[in-house]
Structure 1
Amino acid sequence: MNSIRPWRTIERRKSRQIMVGNVPVGGDAPITVQTMTNTPTEDVRATIDQIRRCEDAGADIIRVSCPTAESTANFDQITRAASIPIVADIHFHYKRALEAADKGAACLRINPGNIGSSQRVAEVVRAAKANGCAIRIGVNAGSLERDLLEKYGEPCPEALIESALDHIKLLQDHDFHEFKVAVKASDVFLAVAAYHGLAETVDCPLHLGITEAGGLIGGTVKSSIGMGSLLWAGIGDTIRVSLSAEPEQEVRVGFEMLKALGLRTRGVRVVSCPSCSRQGFDVIRTVEALEKRLEHIKTPLSLSVLGCVVNGPGEARETDIGLTGGGNGKHMVYLSGVKDHHIESDAMLDHIVSLVEKKAAELDAEAAALSEAAA
């Protein structure tokens, strides 16, 4: 039910591919979704538990802050427990990078120019090479170098790009090329302009983000405008939605963004109406309940929930499972775009969840059979 139309196909920017642990980033690899833990890293149990929740939400990569020696003391316990690659954010202290690399980090988030001498950069590069670590250069409009602020007068796209290129050169001078770059800003226009300029200048993978975007609603809107426009233009190889919300919420929003653009599918894509006085059931509460109860579904499939028969049948024809509101508390259920049966209001929610779970199991079985046949 998800046929590709030429008018909605995105041609991605060609970038070279690097590996973050066992996850490819760039090239023709799927756009990965990242988030960051917010537990004290010294609290190993709490950090691992949060990583587990993010894994369940679908995170491909997760970043963990390592600002102190205490935070890296038991870092190997975290990297061993995680089933996804860990990016160690080491702030300004190069020794944290050395410790994290030795204890299983798949990537180091570091700005080489901020950690001191060329000798320190060389030490970090040696540790990264020895441990198979990638490096993420993270330029941020809120922490630009003083000389660039003096040169440009304020954060601007040119300043962010120049900072990124300066940091890239430091790594390339040490023959290190396994890096990705971010040029983040909380200003949507600034970030988007910087990413466009950098995309034309380098071939490395780009990590997208609108930093300090805000709370769940405001930050989602802001991130979707900025990152969505970049993704639509084919720019971006990995994303992190920065919200003042729990990390697993960032992951869910990231996947919804990619699903809306047809760049990646995971879980149930819900098509639902905004509701009006024509609705045959409470659309808002029904969709809220369905989204919550279907969070565990990882199989890509589509579900339409429409309160009446005005647009309902048309939307239902385009989804795997469809529901349209009817009169007298009886509603029509569509399967694979075809009218199938009626369901009454009091049984509707459980029934739709059951249908989605059944469809997901069927699709999983089909995929497994095809994989086995190919092998």
Structure 2
Amino acid sequence: MTKQLLVGTVAVGGGAPVSIQSMCNTKTDDVAATVAQIKALENAGCELIRVAIPDRAAAEAVDKIKEQISIPLIADIHFNYKFALECAERGIDAIRINPGNIGGAEKVKAVADICRQKRIPIRIGVNGGSLERELRAKYGGVTAEALVESALGHAALLNQFDFDDICISVKCSDVPLTIAAYRLLAERTEYPLHLGVTEAGTPSMGLVKSAMGIGGLLCMGIGDTIRVTLTADPVEEIYAAKKILRAAGLRHDGVNLIACPTCGRTRIDLIPLAEEVERRLDGCRKPITVAVMGCAVNGPGEAAAADIGIAGGDGEGLLFRKGEVLCKVPQERLVDALMEEIEKL
């Protein structure tokens, strides 16, 4: 089990539930826009939010943002250690840095000192694209071993200044490499791990890469907090993360919809039927499994574990619960009957 950190009020590691993160794409010093986006993300299910701190104006906006939001705020800082100090003074809940790119030992010590005094955790974020030149040369490129050596080297640097409230990420856009790096890191440290496949792309491919990388690691028992990175509205990252956690068996809030892929036995237009059920269940928080099946063969039998479900026929269908048929329903009433039964659960 990993060490547990507190990021504001959210526990990370040490057996705590895997938390969902995202990052604002607004200009941080545009407080109104940033707060609006954070609230939209929180409503979608985001539990930790990160903002970019590229300049002093962004750092000076931290306390103004904090006053108006409920979830913990993380500062993403590169190169200028003074921005980390400014954010710490203004109540930031955690800082994401790469200790190797903010200057010499005295600057790292200054950040470690203020974060220790104010109990602010630090995430060491190592990315394949920004791996140190000497490690690339040593390992012949970006490898799992190089990423892990970089991360643990940065952790050791913070340890020199009596700082140990550390979370680590070793992200790449290459899924197998990302998985290998996190597996190796999990063997060598007890720090909590922030999972992600960086630069995953647009939702169509980005969700696949993230499900493979993040979901695969979670199924191995690796990972304490996650961010799905998509070239899209950040709210889409939250929906994707929730789906990954549900698929990995780590979240049970909301509906688990299962549906058969259709075959030659299907006598009902199942695809729009399943899409309609999915649309009408959007926002339902009941921890239930709902089945939409194409025929009696794949209905109550194969979907017997579902809490409630429907199976198509020819002009009519079956409404069933836990494998037991409740009644036959005309095709045009199938979805309405299903929703009415879900309301009773």
TM-score, normalising length from structure 2?
0.94
Q: State the match for 1:373 in structure 2.
A: none
Taking the aligned partners of 1:279 and 1:103, their CA distance within structure 2 comes to 61
Residue 248 of structure 2 is matched in structure 1 by 261
Residues 101, 127 of structure 1: 8 Å contact kept: yes
Name the amino acid aligned to 1:30. P
Q: Which residue of 2 aligns with 1:342?
A: 328
SS in 1 for 2:168: strand
Task: Look up the match of 1:212.
Answer: 199
Q: SS at the partner of 1:116?
A: coil
1:90: how far off? 1.4
- Once the two structures are superposed, the pairs formed by residues 149-228 of structure 1 within 5 Å of their partners are 149-228=136-215
**Identity across the alignment (%):** 46
Match of 1:301 in 2: 288
Residues 147/298 of structure 1: CA separation in 2 closer, same or farther (3 Å cut) = same
Alignment partner, residue 229 of structure 2: 242
- Equivalence for 1:252: 239
CA distance in structure 2 between the partners assigned to 1:96 and 1:351 by the alignment: 57
Provide, for residues 180-222 of structure 1, a one-character-per-residue CA deviation record: whole Å limited to 9, x for no partner. Answer: 1001111112111111111111111011111111111211111
Instruction: Compute the TM-score of the two structures, normalised by the length of structure 1.
Output: 0.86
In 1, the alpha carbon distance for the partners of 2:219 and 2:127 equals 22
Q: SS of the counterpart of 1:81?
A: coil
Distance 1:117 1:42, change over 3 A: same
Partner residue, 2:96: 109
Alpha-carbon distance in 1 for matches of 2:337, 2:179: 44
CA distance in 1, matches of 2:19, 2:42: 13
Aligned-residue CA RMSD in angstroms? 1.8
Q: What SS class does the counterpart of residue 87 from structure 1 fall into?
A: strand
Matched, 1:140 2:124: no
Task: Give the equivalent residue in structure 1 for 2:67.
Answer: 80
1:291 alignment partner in structure 2: 278
- How many residue pairs get aligned? The number is 345
Summarize the alignment of residues 59-70 of structure 1 with structure 2, pairs less than 5 Å apart. Answer: 59-70=46-57
Candidates 39, 45, 49, aligned match of 1:52: 39
Gapped regions of structure 1 (runs ≥ 5): 1-13, 360-375
Moved over 4 A (4+): none
CA contact (8 A) 2:266 2:294 kept: yes
Partner deviation per Cα, 1:303-338 (whole Å, 9 max, x = no partner): 11112112111244211111111222x222123443
Match of 1:30 among 17, 27, 32: 17
State how far apart, in whole Å, the 2-side matches of 1:342 and 1:56 are: 38
Whether 2:333 is the aligned partner of 1:331: answer no
SS at match of 1:293: helix
Give yes or no for contact 2:174–2:197 (8 Å, CA) kept in 1. Answer: yes
Residues 310 and 337 (structure 1 numbering): CA distance in 2 closer, same or farther, change over 3 Å? closer
Aligned counterparts of 1:127 and 1:270: Cα–Cα separation in 2: 47
Which structure 2 segments of 5+ residues have no match?
none
**1:297 touches 1:357 (CA, 8 Å); kept in 2?**
no
Change (3 A) 1:292 1:247: farther
What CA distance in whole angstroms lies between the structure 2 residues aligned with 1:192 and 1:219? Answer: 15
Amino acid at match of 1:334: F
Residues 24-49 of structure 1: CA deviation (Å, up to 9, x unaligned): 11111111121112122222222222
CA contact 1:183–1:191 (8 Å) conserved in 2: yes
| Aligned AA (2:209) | K
